[in-house]
Every structure is written in structure tokens, then in C-alpha cells.
Structure 1
Amino acid sequence: GPLWLGLAGLVVRVTGSVVPSLVGMRLLAIVGLALLAWALLRLTEVPGRALWLGVANPLVLVHLLSGAHNDALMIGLMAAGLAVAGRGGRWLAIGAALVTGGALIKVPAVAALAFLPLLAASNLPGRLRASAVVGLSAVATAVIVTLVSGLGWGWLGSLDAGRARLALFSPLTGLGVLVGQVDAVLAGGLVVAAVVGLGLLLAADRLGPLRACGLLLLSVSLLLPVVQPWYVLWGVVLLGACSSARGAAGLGAACLVLTLLVQPSGRSVVRPPLYGVPMALAAVAGCLVARRHRSLGVEVVPTPAPRSLP
């Protein structure tokens, strides 16, 4: 997105060479993780668990931080937006601007915008007003950032830039290769993601907006045509703020497996044609650990109490 391109360009211009630029990129990732830690402390009543899964997670440290991926800043801005939006009033507009900033780093964060009105209001009139505030703030932020960056709107045309190649970590690529219809399966995955998103939005009052948002982002990360192991963190960091100890243990085990399956160089231990197998191994490990974890306590107080806008 234009915000990331602008920040990355600024780092390169300021540093002027490769090694300092890499340090600068990692500093941006650290800023993202600092925002995430700040947000998680306000989104959960179990801060130790949330920080363990969201910040001290080996997948975060070994790949997201060390690799200086822009996902770190995207996640940090998105989580910060969710944390402040629940206060309502002007904080809702600020939260929407932060989430939009995350989406202008990397587009998947835009999904969190749909849940902001649910955090800010508990009745239909309040949510309609909140939706208008979120929409106006998001549009204004996107326009301002795009104009200030000087990059224009051409970045919109590159949103599907990664669709041409087979992705080793993509479960849908594995299914497509298996049945011999990769393009059809990947297209179907986008439809499934849209249906899942609608279902979770409708179920958000029952699940809790934060949990529903986390589940949606986790689903999207697995249903995209191109999947990287750290993409699961989009949803995992939010689910860590509202999961039971058993659920957090399962998510942590899955993240650990993904960390071990990818070398620091970026090369996967599992090689083609075993498309989708790494995610399957991570899912199995997570399920086994969650099943063996005998915690009976379920602490779910993930978000501020919703309230109507004035």
C-alpha cells in the first residue's frame, strides 16, 4: 500500500545504503510490535497470555521481526485501531484512521473496519451512526495518505500481484494441485472467504467482535491464493487476546510448527509438490496440543463494553 511504500522510501532516502536500510526496516517492525503490545494490554484481561501469543510468539520474532515484514506494522496499526475504537465518540474516528493506516500498509487489515461499529455501539441506530463515522474516516485517511505519498492510485492495480505462482503454504493450492484445477479452487477460496466474513459479521454479537475479527483474518490468511506462514498472525494475535488457555496453547503450537518449517533464509523444509502440507502439519499440531491441554477455564473478556455514540 502507499503508506508502506512511502515509509520504505523514506527509510532508504535517509539511510542511503543497504545495511542501514535493513536496520530502518526492522525499526518499523519494532514500532508495529510496540503498537501491538500497547493494544493487546487494552483488549484483554489476560495480558500475559495475549502478549505471549501476540508478541513473544516465535513466529513473530523469528520471521515477522527478523524478516522486517510489513505485516508487523499492519498488525500493530490494526490492533491499535481496534483498541481505541471501543471508546466511541472521536475515538471511533481515530480508530478507523488507524485501521485504515494498517490497510494502507497491507490490504487485509481493511476487514477490521467492519467490526469497529460493533465495538462502539450496542444498538442498531448507534451502529448505523458508527458505520458512517468509520466510512468517512476511512475514506479521508486513504485519500490523504495517497495524496501525501505522491504515488497516486496505481497501487490499487497491484493488489492481486501474487496470484500467478503456486504457493507452498496455501492449503487451496494443495487442493487445486490434487484435483488438477488450481485456478478454479483459488477462485472458489475467495468466494468462501467472503461467505465466512459475512457469517462472522452476523455472529459477532455472539462470538464477540474481537474474536469474530480474529477468526475472519485467520480464515482469510488461509484462503488467499498466496500464503506465507506469518500471515496467520493477522488473526492469531487478536485471538490470543480472547482465547481460553486451551485455545492459546493450540494456536501457539501451530505457530511453533510453522516457525520450524521455514528456515531463517525463507526456504521451507517442506518442498513441492507438497503444497499445503506445512499448514496441515501446523493445524494437526495445534489440534493435538489443544486436545491434550486440560484447562477448563475460559476467560473471554476481549473488548471494551460497547456503547452508543452520542
Structure 2
Amino acid sequence: MVARGVLGSMLVALGGLVVATLPASTPLLGLDALVALRTTEAGRMLGLTVVMGGLGILAAQWLRLCRSTAAGERDPDGDLALVRRVAVWWSVPLVLAPPLFSRDGWSYAAQGALVEAGVDPYEHGPGVLAGAVAEAVDPRWSGTPAPYGPVPLLLGGLGASVTSDPWLLVVGHRLLALVGLVLLAWAVPRLARWTGASPALASALVLVSPLTLAAGVAGLHNDLLMVGLMAAALVVGVERHWAAGAVLAGLAAAVKLPGGLVCVAVVVASLPAGAALAARWRRLAGVGLVSVGTLVGLSLAGGLGLGWLAALSVPTTVATPLSLTTVVGGLLDLGGGAVGLPEAALLDLTRTVGSVAAVVLTAMVVLRAPTGGRREALRALVVVLTATVLLSPVVHLWYLLWVLPFAACLRLPRAGTAVVLVLSLVLGLASPLDSSLHGAYLAIVWGCLLLAAITPLLLATRAGRDRVGRIAEAHLLPA
């Protein structure tokens, strides 16, 4: 199992050298064989096939690991140790790979270089930089400011003070993503014990799922570090002190602002049962003050200021097909144009309504959710994060990482666990079909065909259905 997963990761990394964007100055592009693969349609499709095959192997071994863990073939501590060991070995081949399935990693490297150069990353995009560090940045984002908090920017600036090699800077950011994975490895078993779920099975669902490995580790998105800090904030805020949890929540928000939503669970869990409305408001104010103070203090101390507030609108400049409000608004605009409404008027309105609805729902959860219970707090957080993702004006598939660690720790109904399994598998396999393909229609079609071939083999066969069913049923049993 471990060795086969390592093989899958190696195939993903090797195929990624063909399909991923690389800086023009990288020495790898001096290899004639690699250039031949990258510059021909047949070569690129071969690379994509290798990547998809590697992801398929990882997915199959992940389901096997979940099945083994659900069956309790070892003692609980042994199962948990196995899951953590697998997470390490399956991640190792991806550490030195280029950013896969998205160019965001190259943007992270360039934004850190901006900080090191003394250029405000909230005012300028990577396009103002000269040299190799900006060569592989997506042209769509080369002129836009960074939409991230001070943590990845300051740490990226620290890395840029050591080296200007974009590949090494990307490896540094991938190590930050692995810090998020380590935090999840520590926090998820504790969260699972709150609800009576199996710590080992919950860890298997989170740490080595195809979605986590493809989007979090291979894609090195900041979301993995953010959600790791969120999980740690909830555990520390409940088991130690709410103020300590609020500090970690502020750090999570300092990676990406949605990380601050964990404050909802910290408030709900840290209050006594049946807390009155006034007590909720006081605790909310206290948690909010500490977390915002941490975020603002880090921004000011790091010399970046509060420019990230204005940059929060950057992601909304694109339309993503996973955003429910964007899809609905786009469909409404088709009819609105026929009656003379301005272009995108209903799209903007629908997105705004969705964002307001998410805020209102979050406030209702804070003020009405049962207090004093850890399980209830975890459930409240899942509700808030799910609503935020569903109603967000922009949704990338890696946004599902926000929900996965907390949903996996709940003792969901059989169908709920099956949904977590299927979404984690399908979205992980779909990672190569990210919007970074930018109109590469043959790659999109070929990738969809491979996805349509691999997914039924893993899920729709009798063995696959039985495996998913046994995992889902085991998640209902006492740990």
C-alpha cells in the first residue's frame, strides 16, 4: 500500500514536469527529451495521462487505506501511526515538483520577492519584477496585487532574502503547506475524539485524500496552511483557553481571511451550556478582538500595513464554474440581457446576495447554536464553512479543503460519509482540469475522458461500492 502510493506520487510529479508551467530559464528546459514532450500535443497528452494514472493509483490506495482503517485491522494507535506514516511517504515525491494544476505557487514565489524588494504586494503585481522569479506567473495575475494575508507574504519574503531561484522559493511554500498538514495530523484525531469518531479513519479521510494531496500538497495552495491553523485553533481554544485559540484563528486569517471563521466554533464551544445572548456577545467580542488584533498586529509589525483589505476583491475578478452564485447569476443575466439590463447586473446582484446570506447565516449560528458542547461547535463550523463555500462569488476546487477536516471528524450519516469520500476522490482526480489550462481544449477533453474512465473503476464497481459502504458504516461506530 505505502509503496504503491509512493509510485502514484512519483508519476504525478514526473508527469507534472510535462504539463506544468515552468520558468523559461529553468535548466530542465535544456533537456531535449523534456522539451520534445512539452512542445507536442502527443507529448502533453502523454504527460497528462501519466499524471492522471498517478492520481488514480493514489486514489485506489487511499480507499484501501480507509477500508483497512475502518476494519480495525490494527490497534487504534497502530492505525493512526500508519496513516501518518503514509502521509509522509506519499508527500515526499511531490516536495520538489513544480506547482501542479495551478500557477498559484509561482505567484507566491513572486509575491515574496516583492516583499524582499521593498515593493508593496498589495499595490503591485509580480509583473513589476525582473528576472526569473516572475517568468512562470500566470499573465492573468501578473498585474494584480496579492489577495493573501501577511503570513505567506512575510515568510515568502524571508525565503526570497535567501535565494532568488523561483523553484527553491516554490519548494519553500510547499513546506509551508506541509506545516498545515502536520497541524492537521495533530488536530484531527483530537477533533474526532470529541464526536466519538475513529481518529485513524478521520485522519485517513483528511491527510491522504486525493483532494489533499493534489490541491494541498502538489498544488501547494495556502488553503492547507490556513485550515491546519484553523483546526489547531479550535483544539487549543477548547482544550486550553479561548484566547489562545483566538490567536491561532488570527494567524489562520493572516494566511487567508476565511480562516477567521473558526472563531465561530471557538465561541460556541468555550461558553457554558445554555449561555444567554449577552454572554455570547461578550465572548464573541473577546474572541474577535484577540483574533483581529493578532491579524492587524502582524500586518503592521511586518511592515505590510492593511493593504490586504483592498486586495480582497482580486479573486472576484474571475468567474469559476464551481461558484453557485456565479452560475445562477450568469443564467439570470442571459434573460436580463434580453430585456435591456446592463451586462453582468444580475450576476453582481446574485453574488452580493450570496455573500450577505453567508454573513447572516454565520451570525445566526453564533447567536443560536447550542453552546458548551464540542460536537455542536464542530457541527456549527461545518455549517458555516459549507455555506461560505457554496455562496462564495469565487470557488476553486481546493476551497473544499476548508470543510473536509471538520466534516471528516463528525459522525455523519452513512450517506454523508459517502459524499465526503466521493467528493474527495473526484475533486482530487479533477485537479488537473483546473482553469489554469486556459482553453487547452484537447487537454480538457482528454482529462475528462480519463476522469470518466478512472472514477467508475474506483467507485461504481461492486468492489468499489462495497468498499465505500464499509468505510461509511464504520464511521458511525464508536471509535
Q: Same fold (TM over 0.5)?
A: yes
Once residues 96 and 301 of structure 1 are traced to their aligned partners in structure 2, the CA distance between those partners, rounded to angstroms, is: 31
Partner of 2:179: 31
Once residues 398 and 478 of structure 2 are traced to their aligned partners in structure 1, the CA distance between those partners, rounded to angstroms, is: 26
Contact 1:169/1:228 (CA < 8 Å) preserved in 2? yes
Q: CA RMSD in A?
A: 3.1
* Of 45-54 and 122-131, the range deviating more from structure 2: 122-131
In structure 2, which of residues 179, 203, 206 is the aligned counterpart of residue 54 of structure 1? 206
Give per-residue Cα distances to partners, 1:237-293, cap 9 Å, x unaligned.
11111133622221120122222223177439998xxxxxx9xxxxxx9xx98xx94
Distance 1:268 1:80, change over 3 A: farther
Contact 2:181/2:228 (CA < 8 Å) preserved in 1? yes
Partner of 1:191: 356
Distance 1:92 1:169, change over 3 A: same
Which of structures 1 and 2 has the bigger CA Rg?
2
Distance 1:15 1:243, change over 3 A: farther
Partner of 1:118: 268
Contact 2:159/2:169 (CA < 8 Å) preserved in 1? yes
> 1:129: how far off?
5.3
Q: How does 1:280-291 map to 2 (within 5 A)?
A: none
Once residues 113 and 300 of structure 1 are traced to their aligned partners in structure 2, the CA distance between those partners, rounded to angstroms, is: 29
Partner of 2:291: 138
Q: Percent identity?
A: 35
> Alignment partner of 1:15: what SS?
coil
In structure 2, which of residues 383, 387, 390 is the aligned counterpart of residue 222 of structure 1? 390
Partner of 2:437: 267
Once residues 369 and 288 of structure 2 are traced to their aligned partners in structure 1, the CA distance between those partners, rounded to angstroms, is: 19
Distance 1:158 1:229, change over 3 A: same
TM-score (normalizing by structure 2): 0.54
Q: How does 1:83-162 map to 2 (within 5 A)?
A: 83-88=235-240, 91-122=241-272, 123-124=275-276, 127=280, 130-162=283-315
TM-score (normalizing by structure 1): 0.82
Paired residues in the alignment total: 286
The residue identity in structure 1 corresponding to 2:349 is A
> 1:83: how far off?
0.5
Contact 2:296/2:306 (CA < 8 Å) preserved in 1? no
Contact 1:50/1:241 (CA < 8 Å) preserved in 2? yes
Once residues 144 and 119 of structure 1 are traced to their aligned partners in structure 2, the CA distance between those partners, rounded to angstroms, is: 26
> Alignment partner of 1:14: what SS?
coil
Contact 1:245/1:297 (CA < 8 Å) preserved in 2? no
> 1:73: how far off?
0.8
Contact 1:59/1:255 (CA < 8 Å) preserved in 2? yes
Contact 1:59/1:256 (CA < 8 Å) preserved in 2? yes
Unaligned runs of 5+ in 1: 272-277, 279-284, 303-310
Unaligned runs of 5+ in 2: 1-148, 334-345, 442-447, 449-455
Q: Given the alignment of the two structures, is residue 81 of structure 1 paired with residue 238 of structure 2, yes or no?
A: no
Partner of 1:253: 422
Once residues 74 and 141 of structure 1 are traced to their aligned partners in structure 2, the CA distance between those partners, rounded to angstroms, is: 15
Contact 1:81/1:98 (CA < 8 Å) preserved in 2? yes
The residue identity in structure 2 corresponding to 1:242 is L
Once residues 240 and 184 of structure 1 are traced to their aligned partners in structure 2, the CA distance between those partners, rounded to angstroms, is: 34
In structure 2, which of residues 191, 195, 217 is the aligned counterpart of residue 65 of structure 1? 217
Once residues 301 and 242 of structure 1 are traced to their aligned partners in structure 2, the CA distance between those partners, rounded to angstroms, is: 12
